[in-house]
Amino acid sequence: MSYEKVLQARKLIIGIKQTAKALEDGSVKELVIATDADQKLTATAVGIAQKLGVPILYVDSMKKLGKASGIKVGTAAVAIIR
């Protein structure tokens, strides 16, 4: 699954607000979104990624995504940086 990509990534940005900023800067290679996150929260980042043609990977768990990102809490979004 996409958790492996997150684990192998050298540089990550964690969280919706930070991910949206990185997308606007053009530094995101791939966006990873947890499907159990509130869609109202993830809609902005997903919309920017779609507009810019950034690939979006979906995973099933915020908790697992947070763990794969190296944090102890769940996260709705992670950006894999170029």
CATH number of the domain where residue 73 is located: 3.30.1330.30
Distance CA 49, CA 8 (A): 21
Beta-carbon count within 10 A of 46 CB: 21
pLDDT at 58: 96
pLDDT at 7: 87
pLDDT at 29: 96
Query: How many folded domains does the chain comprise?
Result: 1
Range of the domain at 67: 3-81
Query: 14: which residues sit within 8 A by CB, 6+ positions away?
Result: 66, 69, 71, 75, 77, 78, 79
pLDDT in tens, the chain (82 residues): 578 888 888 899 999 999 999 999 999 999 999 999 999 999 999 999 999 999 999 999 999 999 999 999 999 999 999 8
Tokens standing for 44? 């902005």
